[in-house]
Amino acid sequence: MNQRDSPLGGFTSGAGLGGTVSNYRKKQNVYKQGMPAYTLFYIQEGGVCLTTQSTHQPSAVTAMLGVGDFFGEQCLAGYPLRTTHGRCVDRQFHSCYQKRKSAPNTSQDE
């Protein structure tokens, strides 16, 4: 995909948005359910399978994602933990954009 075809408008390297490009192997976990949620992912190549598991049911596929899709967006809504499990279904490259962690409030009322 060239930069003109990218929905990110030339930011496919991730550098312009403060992100990095990460490589994942087939069947490698991108993240697991319950992990801290502070990264947004954009798929440049390959695909991701998102699953959810509960204590009383087997895991269920909630989404199959491909090139041009974002995932992990719960971190933007303030969710502290991942609600799904993301696993690569093909060799791929993701742009990863890390959400800034808020600094603790150090001001004290006197």
Domain ranges of the chain: 23-98
What pTM was estimated for this model as a whole? 0.71
Q: What pLDDT score does 75 carry?
A: 87
d(CA 40, CA 30): 11
Assigned fold of 23-98: Jelly Rolls (2.60.120)
| Residue 9 pLDDT | 53
**What integer pLDDT is reported at residue 25 of this predicted model?**
87
How does pLDDT run along the chain (110 residues), one tens digit per residue?
444 455 555 545 545 556 778 888 889 999 999 999 988 888 888 899 999 998 888 889 999 999 889 999 988 888 999 999 999 998 766 777 766 554 444 444 44
Residue 90: partners with Cβ closer than 8 Å, 6 or more residues away: 26, 46, 47
The whole-angstrom separation of Cα 93 and Cα 71 is 13
Contact in structure between 50 and 107 (CB atoms under 8 Å): no
82: CB partners within 8 A, 6+ apart:
31, 32, 33, 34, 35, 36, 37, 72, 74
